[in-house]
Amino acid sequence: MMDNTVAELNQDVGYSILAFLDGIDAVNFVEAVDNSQQFWSIAKTLDHHFIKLMEALCGRERVLLLPSAIPPYFTDEYEVVDGRLIQVPSHYSAVEQPPERLYIHPCFTIEGFAKLCEVYQTPLFKCYSRLLPLNIVWYNADFGLLNYEWYSHTIGSKRILNDHENKLFRVSTYFNRNRKESCCSNMKFVHTMDEFKQNLVARFSSDAWLRAIDFSKWAIVGGSVLNALCNIPFFDSKEQDVNLVYYVHDILDFKKSIDDIVNNINKIGSKSSTNKIRVEKITGTPNYNVFLPCHVQLNFIWTPIRKSKKPLSHILHNFDMDICQVAFTGDRIVSTFPFLQALATRSFIVYTLNAQSPKHLLPTSFDGDFDSLMAQEEIPLYRVEYQHYIDDDGEIQIITKEFRRPFLDNVDTFGLQEKFISTVCPQLLHYN
pLDDT at 227 over 80: yes
Contact partners, residue 183, CB within 8 Å, separation at least 6: 358
pLDDT at 101: 83
DSSP helix/strand/coil, 4:
coil
DSSP helix/strand/coil, 81:
strand
Interatomic CA distance for residues 104 and 19, integer angstroms: 25
pLDDT at 107 over 70: yes
Contact partners, residue 68, CB within 8 Å, separation at least 6: none
Q: Which fold has domain 140-376+407-412?
A: Beta Polymerase; domain 2 (3.30.460)
Q: Which of 157-166, 178-187, 333-342 shows the lowest per-residue confidence on average (mean pLDDT)?
A: 178-187
Question: In this structure, are residues 279 and 288 in contact, taking their beta carbons and an 8 Å threshold?
Answer: yes
Interatomic CA distance for residues 167 and 173, integer angstroms: 17
Question: In this structure, are residues 158 and 344 in contact, taking their beta carbons and an 8 Å threshold?
Answer: yes
Strand bridging mode 146-147 / 333-335 = antiparallel
Confidence band of 356 (pLDDT split at 50, 70, 90): very low
pLDDT at 182: 47
pLDDT at 259: 95
Comparing 184 with 268, which gets the higher pLDDT? 268
pLDDT at 236 over 80: no
Confidence band of 94 (pLDDT split at 50, 70, 90): very low
Range list of H helices, 355-426 = 370-375, 416-424
Q: How confident is the model over 171-186, as a mean pLDDT?
A: 58
- Tally Cβ neighbours within 10 Å of residue 408: 16
Q: How confident is the model over 36-59, as a mean pLDDT?
A: 87
Mean per-residue pLDDT over the chain, rounded: 82
pLDDT at 20: 85
pLDDT at 12: 73
Q: What burial class does residue 279 get, using C-beta atoms within 10 Å of its C-beta: 0-12 exposed, 13-18 middle, 19+ buried?
A: middle
pLDDT at 37 over 90: no
Confidence band of 341 (pLDDT split at 50, 70, 90): very high
Question: In this structure, are residues 221 and 327 in contact, taking their beta carbons and an 8 Å threshold?
Answer: yes
Comparing 431 with 175, which gets the higher pLDDT? 431
Comparing 35 with 226, which gets the higher pLDDT? 226
pLDDT at 1: 47
Comparing 56 with 18, which gets the higher pLDDT? 56
